[in-house]
Amino acid sequence: MLNKKARVYFSCFMLILGTLIGFLLSKWSEIGSLGWREPDVITLTVRMPENGSLPSRMIYGKPDIAKAPRRDVMVLSPWLAPIVWAGTFNRDLLMEEFQHKKYRIGLTVTAIGKYVKLLKKFLESTERYFMKGGMVTYYVFTDRPDKVKALSLEVNRPLKIITVPKYPTWGHVVLGRMEILKNQSEVLFQQEVDYVVSLDVDMVLFSHIGVEILGELVSVIHPGYYHSPRKDLPYERRPASQAFIPEDEGDFYYQANFFVGTVQRIYQLATACYEGIVKDKANDIQAVVYEESHFNKYLVYNKPTKLLSPEYIWMNNLWRLKDIRIKRIVHGEKKF
Ligand SMILES: CC(=O)N[C@H]1[C@@H](OP(=O)(O)OP(=O)(O)OC[C@H]2O[C@@H](n3ccc(=O)[nH]c3=O)[C@H](O)[C@@H]2O)O[C@H](CO)[C@H](O)[C@@H]1O
Ligand SMILES: [Mn+2]
């Protein structure tokens, strides 16, 4: 039995511990990273004697072949696609090539109906954190261009408003996104950009998202299922749907609210999903997770060339796992 004094000490200790844990948990939703920092790169300026110009050089530690970037998570898929986690890349190093090649990036977002209200917060965060120093054009797909204009959005990159049909239901919107992407890849993106990035409007960026996300075909591993066995992944398992994936197939479950690719690869992906959706409709079947089921089906047979870890679409209602060092984007908190 504890004596009275010991009990008082114990109660005080528990109170302090409880307050501390409560404080940390409350802060977790507000900050991008907990203690973890992106590696430093020192850029030095040196004088070149031939022409007297002042090119800058980047100085960084030599990669050590014996040192794995992360030991706790898979950083390379079995088909040799890198999986991007905090600690696996040096963004400044990637930026060198990016600036040299002058890639053009189209960030697409759909804001139909009441979702227009989410656009301001979304764009404030992309202005702050999306592709700093990159050539970005925003493409907003909306049925209410006047409402979007009325938001008086203050953005420092070009913003194009593309009018799309007023889809009657949520389901029609998410399925319709693939049709919009397919059509706009043909008429617009092909001329105007090198990479397309597609994001949901109910996302808020919390930390820098840069060139590390670019690749031929890039998808994000769903934060809710990344430790789940295959049998628990919410793939479409009914053979009657075009999105059908057999029980013994599938790699990861990807979330369709964030994907990236070259215009050609996005066009192919969107066309395949659109055709699957049209066929399903003709057969009077609706895939279990709408366009996301078709998206996952496509990616089983057309493997992504790069994967982004769940850091890129974290959700605050998920318990923080020890392999998540940083929340780069928080998704799904809608306040209309
Ligand atoms: C828990 C769950 O089931 N999540 C699914 C749901 O996510 P979400 O619940 O995140 O879907 P959501 O409501 O954010 O809708 C997807 C996006 O479509 C746009 N939008 C939607 C409706 C509308 O009236 N106006 C409009 O503009 C908007 O950009 C929105 O962010 O849908 C996604 C569609 O990719 C995936 O299927 C997700 O797995
Ligand atoms: Mn969403």
CB 123 within 8 A of CB 153: yes
3-state secondary structure of 88: coil
Going from the Cα of 171 to the center of ligand 2, the distance in angstroms, rounded, reads: 12
Cα–Cα distance for residue pair 60/62, rounded to 1 Å: 6
Of 325, 104, 109, the closest CA to residue 204 belongs to 109
Nearest ligand, measured from the Cα of 290: 1
Low-confidence ranges of the chain (pLDDT < 50): 29-30
Pairing mode, strands 195-199 and 203-205: unpaired
Residues with CB under 6 A from ligand 1: 110-113, 115, 170, 173-174, 200-202, 255-257, 289-292, 332
Beta strands in the chain (DSSP E): 42-45, 56-59, 83-84, 104-110, 135-142, 159-163, 195-199, 203-205, 217-221, 254-262, 306-308, 329-331
Token pair 């409007």 in the structure block, residue: 201
pLDDT value of residue 30: 46
Nearest CA to ligand 1 atom 18: 174
pLDDT value of residue 58: 80
**Tokens coding 173:** 């919107």
Of 308, 132, 146, the closest CA to residue 219 belongs to 308
Could you write out the DSSP letters of every residue in 264-316? Answer: HHHHHHHHHHHHHHHHHHHTT---TTHHHHHHHHHHHHS--SEEE-GGGGB-T
pLDDT value of residue 318: 86
Going from the Cα of 70 to the center of ligand 1, the distance in angstroms, rounded, reads: 32
Cα–Cα distance for residue pair 276/182, rounded to 1 Å: 13
Atom of ligand 1 nearest to the CA of 169: 24
Of 302, 232, 231, 248, the closest CA to residue 273 belongs to 302
- 168 Cβ contact partners less than 8 Å away, ≥ 6 residues apart: none
CATH architecture observed for domain 73-331: Alpha-Beta Complex (3.90)
Helix, strand, coil share (%) of the chain residues, nearest 5: 35, 20, 45
Quick count: other Cβ atoms within 10 Å of Cβ 232? Answer: 10
CB 105 within 8 A of CB 136: yes
Atom of ligand 1 nearest to the CA of 199: 29
3-state secondary structure of 262: strand
